[in-house]
Amino acid sequence: MNQPLQTEFTGYAGGVTSVEQRDRVLRNTYWLLALSMVPTVLGAWIGVATGITQAMGHGMSAILFLAGAFGFIFAIEKTKNSAAGVPVLLGFTFFMGLMLSRLIGAVLGMNNGAGLIMTAFAGTGAIFFGMATLSSLIKRDLSSMGKFLFVGAVMLCVAAIANIFLHSSALMITISVVAIGIFSAFIIYDLKRVRDGEETNYISATLNIYLDLYNIFQSLLSILGFANSRE
């Protein structure tokens, strides 16, 4: 069933040496990234409609999110060079949409909740367009930037887990603002790796950029929701 997709989106196991091949990997990444939005929206809609994630406590939700996310990421890396890679990635994006439904449901319960979600979506799109443009303009090698961004992402994750128990609004806003900055930089870094031929597998590239966009959207929506609740 997934053979047409696998035929269309052809990854590269070896090094990318030509501009044409790099462009093809980038193009396939963009197409798969766009496709990944469909199960994400579906998962979020099912989560809001059923209230399945709302019934969980913050602790249980966090445990399920971390276990599910890391499990899927491991499976994606194992299948990225096979015909199963695309379906596994799309299953992951459905799961991520389902997990996002807790926040979306809370925002929808506010005044102008739908407007806040659209604003966060538009803001995420604008950030992606801006960072993608920058990645095409920057000529210098950004490979050394990856380790600093990784450390920042790990520290954010630790702070977010700690805030499950602290329930600090100030820390939540700080984490969200910093996350927008870090994952915006990650978009430049991840796209630049594809453009430079360092990332030759479109499934891995899509996974990385999807996670960047997911974290930016979630952070923007958290900030907008908090600001709206204070009015």
Residue 7 has pLDDT above 70, yes or no: no
Whether 68 has a pLDDT exceeding 50, the answer reads: yes
* CB 194, CB 155: distance < 8 Å: no
Q: Per-residue pLDDT for 3 more than 70?
A: no
Which tens digits make up the pLDDT trace of 145-200?
Answer: 999 999 999 999 999 989 988 889 999 999 999 999 999 999 999 999 999 999 99
Q: For the residues 118-125, what does the mean pLDDT come to?
A: 97
pLDDT digits (tens, 9 = 90+) for 81-112: 999 999 999 999 999 999 999 999 999 999 89
**Cα dihedral 125, 131, 133, 137 in deg (nearest 10):** 180
The pLDDT-based confidence of 231 (bands split at 50, 70, 90) is low
Render pLDDT for 26-63 as a digit per residue (tens, 0 to 9): 999 999 999 999 999 999 999 999 988 877 777 788 88
Res 165: pLDDT: 85
3-state secondary structure the chain: CCHHHHHHCCCCCCCCCCHHHHHHHHHHHHHHHHHHHHHHHHHHHHHHHHCCCCCCCHHHHHHHHHHHHHHHHHHHHHHCCCCCHHHHHHHHHHHHHHHHHHHHHHHHCCCCHHHHHHHHHHHHHHHHHHHHHHHHHCCCCCCCHHHHHHHHHHHHHHHHHHHHHHCCHHHHHHHHHHHHHHHHHHHHHHHHHHHCCCCCCHHHHHHHHHHHHHHHHHHHHHHHHHHHHCC
